[in-house]
A and B are shown apart, each in its own frame.
Chain A
Amino acid sequence: EAGVAQSPRYKIIEKRQSVAFWCNPISGHATLYWYQQILGQGPKLLIQFQNNGVVDDSQLPKDRFSAERLKGVDSTLKIQPAKLEDSAVYLCASGGYYGYTFGSGTRLTVV
């Protein structure tokens, strides 16, 4: 089966600019997760979707971050405006009871 697809692989933006990341989960996986991983730390859950509904977005900074999964398949995560502390790897994952499959991640650098 095809894995979790993410793009872009790398992104460099200036602070206060906006950026969007895309994720296409494994076919048939109803649950999709976005994680933020700051260098040297473990992944932190930003938002979890079940089909096209939000299950958990308690750690999503909603003043600047937004995410959608309109048709219950692929998803986009947006940051507007970006801050220096948003520099991190953004990981998308899909799966369920027996674990996740992660995408290759998007490495964001805010300068």
Chain B
Amino acid sequence: AQKITQTQPGMFVQEKEAVTLDCTYDTSDQSYGLFWYKQPSSGEMIFLIYQGSYDEQNATEGRYSLNFQKARKSANLVISASQLGDSAMYFCAMREALSSGTYKYIFGTGTRLKVLA
């Protein structure tokens, strides 16, 4: 069965520094997608970044980059130049193909990031 593991329940980072949030996954599919979402205290889930299993380059979106190591089955999120507004829960997710031809996403347990001034 597909599985997403986030081993860091909580992380602290100093403002303006970089931080890496860990994510490992398990799948037997050859084609899959990996995602990171941010959930502030308001509760809304915000899409951050996407990496396809066949993408040769690591995905980047502004201050977010995804460190994709396929052989190790890891998809870590790197946030550069942390800001106070980055304090939130961060979820790693993986797309799972269903026999119906649609998709569903499974989520990790999340990492709570706190940015310190």
Contact = CB atoms under 8 A, between A and B. Distances in A.
A98 B50 contact: yes
A96 B103 contact: yes
Interface in A69-111: 89, 91, 93, 96-105, 107
Given A41-B109, A42-B91, A42-B108, A100 B45 contact: yes
A45 B33 CA distance: 17
Interface residues of B, number: 23
Given A42-B108, A99-B50, A56 B43 contact: no
Contacts of B50: 98-99
Interface of A: 31, 33, 41-45, 48, 50, 55-56, 89, 91, 93, 96-105, 107
17 contacts: A31-B102, A33-B105, A41-B110, A43-B107, A45-B104, A48-B102, A55-B102, A55-B104, A56-B104, A97-B95, A99-B33, A100-B105, A102-B37, A104-B42, A104-B43, A105-B44, A107-B43
